[in-house]
């Protein structure tokens, strides 16, 4: 980072983590596609120098730990990295390696663009309307890892503290059989997330940013996120945005007609509309009116659910890319958004598109837009030719179903002459 912008050489060193389960095979397919896109766009003038770093099961086998310090150091040094899926046990064992990477490197924005590619099976009647980008706060909320198991001295101490110091009724929690978790939501972290979402929307010509929250119930955490989001929009972006909070103020002072007139003027002048949606309603609108869910900015848990729900509308997690970014330091880890699918490991059947499109995001992030465009067109052409992996092909009547590596090869073929 120099003066707030990435400075990228023609031969950047980019660390990669293969991932667990199906990770190594989808990474092999993705790597040749990314290399082909760069080669097609720039010839010999540019090339990514890949550097493997370890995390997950491979790291445990080779170093005795799931997340070696050397991996964190390498990503911090080289700024940009890409990874496959990593194992996360449910209900026991170590906490998520994905969450650990995000928190240790302060990658506060989980960015997940979801768009529909023609030909991909979807449960929607008009899936072509799906084109949304979700900005999910990555470092706090219930994912902060502040929880205590039922029956532990810590849980009992917290139960007593809530009763004795904060006046919570003793019968509110069952002694000895209640687990506890904390949900921290802060002004600084909420504002930087919303700031990043608004800047993205303005840069890419989006029409709206929706603050998704559950502030009607959690008034000080989720409600705080909503309030701070509006504050950063109005205080830092001025007449480039128009907020629903402004609309409500004008409506209260001058009536609904005046507020509607101001909203119409804002839209006509191209100002970004910053609005809000209660989380459960946001899910409904994502299905019924996806074209109105342009850029979403939300808290950690809401963003997790919404990202997967949006992906389901556009072909599933196998089609959904993702990135974890700190826009202040420039650090970014691009990633497959699906799990490790260990039962399919080594069978050459899993869809590599998630990590491939994450690579497209990465190319665009480092300013290599020509290579990103080449890759995106190859995906469009391959899917239009109905060449797909089994996850999509089983829902299609006239598809050519190919394996993981063959799908990558098809993408490379469709780059020829691009």
Domain finish residue from 314, 334, 356: 314
Residue 188 falls inside a structural domain: yes
Domain identity same for 226 and 257: yes
Look at residues 307, 410, 298, 304 and name the one whose alpha carbon lies nearest to residue 353: 410
Domain identity same for 212 and 280: yes
pLDDT tens, position by position, 91-119: 444 457 778 888 888 999 999 999 999 98
Q: d(Cα 211, Cα 286) in Å, to the nearest integer?
A: 13
Instruction: Write down the catalytic residue from 108, 214, 327, 348.
Output: 214
Q: d(Cα 37, Cα 322) in Å, to the nearest integer?
A: 19
- The per-residue pLDDT for 197 is 98
Q: Tell me how many domains the chain contains.
A: 3
Domain identity same for 195 and 250: yes
Instruction: Write down the catalytic residue from 66, 108, 116, 143.
Output: 143
Give the angle 60-27-340 at the CA atoms, nearest 5°: 55
Domain identity same for 134 and 245: yes
Domain identity same for 130 and 162: no
Residues making up the annotated binding site are: 87, 96, 98, 102, 112, 136, 304, 338-344, 351, 394
Domain identity same for 310 and 198: yes
Domain identity same for 308 and 364: no
Domain finish residue from 314, 336, 354: 314
**What is the span of the domain harbouring residue 1?**
1-111+320-417
Residue 346 falls inside a structural domain: yes
pLDDT tens, position by position, 48-98: 999 999 998 898 899 998 889 999 999 999 999 999 998 765 444 445 777
pLDDT tens, position by position, 382-403: 999 999 999 999 999 889 999 9
Domain finish residue from 314, 333, 367: 314
Residues making up the annotated binding site for Mg(2+) are: 304
Domain identity same for 173 and 226: no
Domain identity same for 166 and 264: no
Domain identity same for 203 and 132: yes
Residue 65 falls inside a structural domain: yes
Residue 252 falls inside a structural domain: yes
Look at residues 274, 304, 363 and name the one whose alpha carbon lies nearest to residue 110: 304
- The per-residue pLDDT for 175 is 87
Domain identity same for 15 and 92: yes
Residue 116 falls inside a structural domain: no
150 SS3 class: coil
48: CATH: 3.40.718.10
Contact assessment for residue 308 and residue 317, using Cβ atoms and an 8 Å cutoff: yes
CB-CB neighbours of 276 under 10 Å: 20
Residues making up the annotated binding site for NADP(+) are: 87, 338-344, 351, 394
- The per-residue pLDDT for 88 is 62
Rounded average pLDDT over 404-409: 97
365 noted as active-site residue: no
Residue 3 falls inside a structural domain: yes
pLDDT range class, residue 145, cuts 50, 70, 90: confident
Domain identity same for 69 and 97: yes
Contact assessment for residue 66 and residue 97, using Cβ atoms and an 8 Å cutoff: yes
Pairing of strands 321-325, 109-115: antiparallel
Residues making up the annotated binding site for D-threo-isocitrate are: 96, 98, 102, 112, 136
Instruction: Write down the catalytic residue from 20, 294, 304, 391.
Output: 304
Q: d(Cα 204, Cα 222) in Å, to the nearest integer?
A: 27
348 noted as active-site residue: no
- The per-residue pLDDT for 95 is 55
Look at residues 158, 237, 177 and name the one whose alpha carbon lies nearest to residue 201: 237
Residue 117 falls inside a structural domain: no
116 noted as active-site residue: no
Residue 95 falls inside a structural domain: yes
Q: Is pLDDT of 227 > 70?
A: yes
Q: Is pLDDT of 27 > 90?
A: yes
Taking phi over 0 as left and psi of -120 to 50 as alpha, with beta for the rest, 150 belongs to beta
Helices assigned H by DSSP within 105-220: 153-164, 187-203
32 noted as active-site residue: no
């Amino acid at each position: 980072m120099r003066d707030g912008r990435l400075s990228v050489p023609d031969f950047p060193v980019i660390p990669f983590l293969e991932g667990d389960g199906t990770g190594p095979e989808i990474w092999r397919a993705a790597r040749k596609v990314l290399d082909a896109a760069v080669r097609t766009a720039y010839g010999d003038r540019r090339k990514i120098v890949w550097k493997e770093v370890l995390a997950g099961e491979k790291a445990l086998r080779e170093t005795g730990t799931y997340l070696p310090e050397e991996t964190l150091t390498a990503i911090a040094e080289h700024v940009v990295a890409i990874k496959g899926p990593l194992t996360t046990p449910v209900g026991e064992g170590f906490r998520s390696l994905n969450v650990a990477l995000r928190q240790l490197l302060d990658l506060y924005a989980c960015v997940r663009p979801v768009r529909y590619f023609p030909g991909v099976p979807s449960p929607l009647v008009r899936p072509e309307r799906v084109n949304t980008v979700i900005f999910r706060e990555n470092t706090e909320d219930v994912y902060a890892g502040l929880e205590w198991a039922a029956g532990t001295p810590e849980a009992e101490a917290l139960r007593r503290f809530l009763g004795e110091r904060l006046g919570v009724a003793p019968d509110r929690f069952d002694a000895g059989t209640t687990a506890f978790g904390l949900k921290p939501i802060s002004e600084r972290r909420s504002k930087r997330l919303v700031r990043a979402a608004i800047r993205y929307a303005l840069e890419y010509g989006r029409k709206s940013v929706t603050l998704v929250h559950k502030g009607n119930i959690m008034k000080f955490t989720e409600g705080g996120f909503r309030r701070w989001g509006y504050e950063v929009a109005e205080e830092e972006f001025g007449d480039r945005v128009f907020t629903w909070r402004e609309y409500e103020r004008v409506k209260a002072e001058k009536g609904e007609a005046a507020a509607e007139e101001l909203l119409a003027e804002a839209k006509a002048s191209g100002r970004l509309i910053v609005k809000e949606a209660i989380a459960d309603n946001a899910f409904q609108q994502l299905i019924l009116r996806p074209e109105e869910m342009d850029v979403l900015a939300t808290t950690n848990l809401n963003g997790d659910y919404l990202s997967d729900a949006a992906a389901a509308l556009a072909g599933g997690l196998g089609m959904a890319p993702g990135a974890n970014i700190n826009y202040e330091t420039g650090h970014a880890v691009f990633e497959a958004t699906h799990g490790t699918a260990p039962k399919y490991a080594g069978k050459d059947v899993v869809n590599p598109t998630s990590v491939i499109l994450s690579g497209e995001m990465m190319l665009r992030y480092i300013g290599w837009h020509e290579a990103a465009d080449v890759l995106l067109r190859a995906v469009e052409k391959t899917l239009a030719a109905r060449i797909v992996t089994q996850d999509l092909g089983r829902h299609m009547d006239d598809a050519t179903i190919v394996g993981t590596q063959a799908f990558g090869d098809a993408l490379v073929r469709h780059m020829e002459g691009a």
